[in-house]
A = this chain, B = another copy of it.
């Protein structure tokens, strides 16, 4: 029902379409994030890709976020976390124990934002929403 995107060639094509060059480093970063599924940090990727400079990893992640193939989220304390994007427009649930990320789409939030247009002075240019959870496996494995 909900179409999945971001098979590697598509991502590369998206970068090309944006007028960017397809370098070996960018391919490696794209491949690395496609291998992952839960949340991860930029340093995780930089550590994994010994042959790619840290600065390039950060630069590429930023490009991928701009290209909507990667989401940059934040834990409750603000620690940034990346997660590959598979759905069109969506929000996230993040397990605060293990970092598992699920994407969901819901029209309630979008309807809410449209209604806000009438209440808020100014122009809405974006929003962020994250739901923090303890996932089933984390609930199961904690004694409390």
A interface, CB within 8 angstroms of B: 72, 74, 76, 78, 80, 93, 95-96, 102, 104, 106, 108-109, 111-113, 115-116, 119-136, 138-139
Contact = CB atoms under 8 A, between A and B. Distances in A.
Contacts of A95: 122
A108 B102 contact: no
Nearest to A113: B131
Contacts of A121: 102, 135-136
A112 to B, nearest CB: 4
B113 A112 contact: no
A128 B128 contact: yes
A120 B136 CA distance: 10
Contacts of A76: 126, 128
A3 B115 CA distance: 23
A96 B74 CA distance: 18
Given A74-B74, A78-B72, A120 B133 contact: yes
